[in-house]
Structure 1
Amino acid sequence: MTQPVSADHELRAAARHLGRRRFLTVSGAALALAFGTNLPNTAHAVSTLNPMRIEKEPFTLGVASGDPMPDSVVLWTRLAPEPYQADSGLPAEPVTVEWEIAEDEDFFLTAGSGQVVAHPEFHHAVHVEPDGLEPGQTYYYRFTVGEWTSPVGRTRTAPAADAEVESLRFAAVSCQAYHQGYFTALKHLAAEDLDVVFHLGDYLYEYAVDSAGGARAYKDVVLPAHFNKETMTLEDYRLRYSLYHADKDLQAAHAAHPWVVTWDDHETENNYADEVPEDGSSAEKFLVRRAAAYRAYYENMPLRKPQQPKGADLQLYRRLRYGKLAQFDVLDTRQYRDDQANGDGWQVPTPESEDPSRTVTGAEQERWLIDGWKASDALWNVLPQQIIFARRRNQVKEPSPVSMDAWDGYPGNRKRVLDGARTAGVKNLVVLSGDVHVHYAMDIKEDYDKPDSRTLGVELVTTSLASGMDGAERPDDWEVMLKANPHMKYFDGRRGYLLVTMDRQQLRADYRIVSKVTSPGGTISTARSFTSRAGDPGLKDA
């Protein structure tokens, strides 16, 4: 099959003329122009591929839905008869895809249907946004191309904005390194009764995956050699998403629930900050890589049109409401941050890291967040984001190092956010975090040096799905971390996910863990549960 024309050569040509984005605004425009030359022209009718020419199953990557609103939800799929090939086994021609959404699994009670074009410029991905749906309703959806019909997905719209919602149940997941274990936790997640799933970052990893699948150590599968390198180009990132989406457990979890996604670093490169790569090399070259990573991310996630990338930029922060019960302000703490101070690891705070002007959100996102809180009438205000928010020390002796890659490396930004929450009258603040491959349950304190000081909210940190392999119930630093951080109520190093149930009286957090991920067949259990009362923040054993 003919391989779609890559945008990489155009991006690299544009990059030769780029300066740092914060000084030369033309750089973003140059990248947008470069990508713009490789975008489909949707203003006119296009001649599409005869679907009967598709001779193999095109829905090998499953289906997904996301970003529920009261009257709509995003439906996603990507056509890939040969998912491990760069062209996915399709010619560089548009393909007409039919879609349906219904109130029942048999599709007798149709709520919407239509056609959408899967363009080769978007790697034959489709994003459908059916509207006119009923709030708080379960729906089923599917796609059809020629004689091929996709698996059926289940999704659910959000309640009406003014609805007095009685309860809400959601999951938080993070960090799914394919090469470090099976996605067993997602198999169990698919069976949970949930309204929505929040993915808090590191959906994929840029590192090489060998022919045996790393820790998966397949005996009957040999992965192509092109996976055994770090992702750098648009083709690399697209292929890596194909590898991940081909996983049946990931497919099952996407098909079972609507997802709300945000990224951290590994979707592009470990520990990058805005236009600064991990190794501190050329910003111009890195922006080319970032543009490729962001484009592939959009192509492979159930995201709405406002999240379509513009060159090396993609606005991922956004707001979702679940009636008057909960408002979710989804953050991006990677794209707009100042570079990590003192390196990327654990360091004793310095005047550089303590500079109050430093930002992890960027000024515009910070204003958006606080203004959203001021306008919120929700009982619970939830912050799904990537990195540890509460202070976290790794030794009892002072001065203790803190993580420069977490909010501890940006204390001025954290203070402004908490001051903004207080000014806005936010009484029930819940921060959802991932990144660190462990379960934490923490109180957010007014003064961490005074354990009896006022509790401003709670932070619920989900462990990884696979990253770090099987892990351990008590990691080596278990005792010192709990002793050095009195506001930390729980610490567990095994794999799994977080379940949260909210009602008008309290939230309940169930920390779910799987017995193993380095071989198939792990079992699921609840390791610990906590509650926090509405109007009286603070975690207590359930």
Structure 2
Amino acid sequence: MDRRAFLTAATAGLLLPQSLTPAASAASVRTLKSDPFTLGVASGDPSADGFVLWTRLAVDPMGGDGRGGMPSRDVDVDWQVSTDERFSKIVKSGTATARARDAHSVHVELNGLEPGRDYFYRFRSAGRLSSAGRTRTTPTGETPLTFAVAACAHYEHGYYTAYRRLAEQEPDLVVFLGDYMYEYGPSGYTALAGRVRTHTPGKCQTLADYRLRHAQYKSDRDLQRAHAAAPWLVAFDDHEVENNWAGSVSSTGAPGFARRRAQAFKAYYENMPLRRVSLQGAVLRVNRRISWGTLARFHLLDTRQFRDDQACMDGVRAGCDDRLASKRTLLGTDQWRWLESGLHDSDTRWNLLGQQIMMAQRDYKIGPGREVNLDSWDGYAAERTRLLGSLSRTSNPVVLTGDAHMHHLAELKTDFDDPDSPVIARELVASSIASDGDGYRDRTWIAEAVQENPHISYIDQRRGYLMARLTRDELSVDFRTLDYISRRGARAKTAHQLTIPAESPASAAGKAGALGAG
């Protein structure tokens, strides 16, 4: 069975059950009224000897209390890892407890496996067998890497065909950069897209609300297929909590935001393949580093939780001098130090920053004057300049971004208004999986936007994702698009291609010297 056949069989629940280690507790053999694995399976945060396995039990995903129709008791769940898709060669197995207080989610953190190889995994509970997933440990050398970049999946705006097409390409890794789910109530944000499907129930306010919303999204079979195809690196943006929130500040000014944010974080952890150390009370740590051998290091950032409030009342605005203040921070002091240290100490060939909001300067006003998005790095310009200075001293930096709902390819410079300013890095911005509906291709508008922003060479408003191939010598990127998502069945195609050659250490040092970096 090849990988594609495996993925088809796994998400359809057709793989034949083999013996699993019996659960130690009698709780696991009590019969549940129906299949508890309705939300699929997932893996994430791979290392050279392991990864995280995830599932969440829910016999009724949209059960009104957010508990997925599960009993109020804990339930034992058997898990199994194999080197083959038929599970004839079991290398790890055990039992985890799906606790009622955690919405019956399971996070199994594995180690002791071989580096740089595929594994297959599944779960069983109460006599029911989950679908199977494929995952992978990271290599120890410069093994090439194929990875996808995706973001922004508003359920109401369309079907998740892009997830299915992504899974069919069988990447080694998926990097998801925020807005995995949206907190709005039904038709809460449909101006550009209309409504293809409906959020239930209302706007997310409580822990039960967020659990239900995650369950609704996770019930989608195309999303389940993408999770089963490869390990994921996930980080949130704003809609996993509330549109355009910043640090401790609600964008709506509603009372009780600290509690709401903490509940959103808990629900996010319960539904993602994250390590237990991620959830630290009311704080959810998603800034972390994942190395792919000596080839690449992913530095995942959190651009929401530690930032200053947006300047000038947020939005796309002109004439906001406050955004230029030197003390304004997007990353916060601790994360800034963590990132600086990680960039300085990195010994990998490539360094990839996975983050949520557009880093390149973007003038939205066609013609004289300038309007910028104050929720993006344009609202924190001084810290961006400092970060680009750090990247100039880093081996082969590339910035991966979500949020914009459009593909962008941009050159990052310390001075975006100086055409002769050296290029520090490229920024690759993935369009959305579903947010803003079918999208469009307005060539006149694109030409005007590129002329207004000459450091941006490509824009595409259609839905899609990025598929990248990384080797020692180059990073090649396909900007994948779909013509529609308002109905099922669209094919994905490569609308634009880019190859970024690796710089030698000598040329990188010369670039840093040209910038006056010591």
Question: Partner residue of 2:421?
Answer: 453
- Matched AA of 2:370: S
Deviation at 1:429, TM superposition (A): 1.1
Gaps in structure 2 of 5+ consecutive residues: 1-22, 512-518
What are the residue-to-residue correspondences of 1:52-201 with 2, within 5 Å?
Answer: 52-85=30-63, 86=65, 87-160=67-140, 163=141, 165-201=142-178
SS in structure 2 opposite 1:129? strand
What are the residue-to-residue correspondences of 1:202-217 with 2, within 5 Å?
Answer: 202-209=179-186, 217=196
Taking only the aligned residue pairs, the percentage that are identical comes to 43
Distance 1:476 1:119, change over 3 A: farther
Q: Structure 2 CA distance, aligned partners of 1:182 and 1:109?
A: 37
Q: Tell me if structure 1 keeps the 8 A contact 2:31–2:127.
A: no
Q: Tell me if structure 2 keeps the 8 A contact 1:438–1:495.
A: yes
- Matched AA of 1:334: R
1:524 aligns with 2:504: no
Q: Structure 2 CA distance, aligned partners of 1:174 and 1:48?
A: 41
Moved more, 398-407 or 53-62: 398-407
Deviation at 1:217, TM superposition (A): 4.3
Moved more, 84-93 or 119-128: 84-93
Question: Partner residue of 1:503?
Answer: 471
Question: Partner residue of 1:316?
Answer: 286
SS in structure 2 opposite 1:64? strand
- TM-score scaled by structure 1? 0.85
Q: Tell me if structure 2 keeps the 8 A contact 1:46–1:94.
A: no
Q: Tell me if structure 2 keeps the 8 A contact 1:319–1:329.
A: yes
Question: Partner residue of 2:228?
Answer: 255
1:293 aligns with 2:264: yes
Q: Structure 2 CA distance, aligned partners of 1:67 and 1:117?
A: 21
Q: Structure 2 CA distance, aligned partners of 1:179 and 1:199?
A: 19
SS in structure 2 opposite 1:472? coil
1:229-253 residue CA offsets vs partner (Å, 9 max, x unmatched):
1100000000000000000000000
Question: Partner residue of 2:381?
Answer: 411
1:276 aligns with 2:255: no
Deviation at 1:464, TM superposition (A): 0.3
- Matched AA of 2:50: S
Q: Structure 1 CA distance, aligned partners of 2:101 and 2:471?
A: 44
- Matched AA of 1:264: D
- Matched AA of 1:52: R
Out of 340, 345, 349, the residue aligned to residue 310 of structure 2 is 340
Q: Tell me if structure 1 keeps the 8 A contact 2:158–2:196.
A: no
Question: Partner residue of 2:18?
Answer: none
1:483 aligns with 2:451: yes
1:148-195 residue CA offsets vs partner (Å, 9 max, x unmatched):
1000100011112xx1x1421100000000000000000111111311
Q: Structure 1 CA distance, aligned partners of 2:421 and 2:236?
A: 33
Question: Partner residue of 1:17?
Answer: none
Q: Tell me if structure 2 keeps the 8 A contact 1:184–1:521.
A: yes
SS in structure 2 opposite 1:526? strand
Q: Structure 2 CA distance, aligned partners of 1:215 and 1:254?
A: 27
Q: Tell me if structure 2 keeps the 8 A contact 1:445–1:457.
A: yes
CA RMSD of aligned residues (A): 2.1
Q: Structure 2 CA distance, aligned partners of 1:155 and 1:475?
A: 40
Deviation at 1:498, TM superposition (A): 0.5
Distance 1:82 1:112, change over 3 A: same
Question: Partner residue of 2:20?
Answer: none
- Matched AA of 1:195: D
Deviation at 1:378, TM superposition (A): 1.0
Deviation at 1:491, TM superposition (A): 0.4
Q: Structure 1 CA distance, aligned partners of 2:25 and 2:343?
A: 47
Gaps in structure 1 of 5+ consecutive residues: 1-44
Q: Structure 2 CA distance, aligned partners of 1:475 and 1:83?
A: 42
1:366 aligns with 2:336: yes
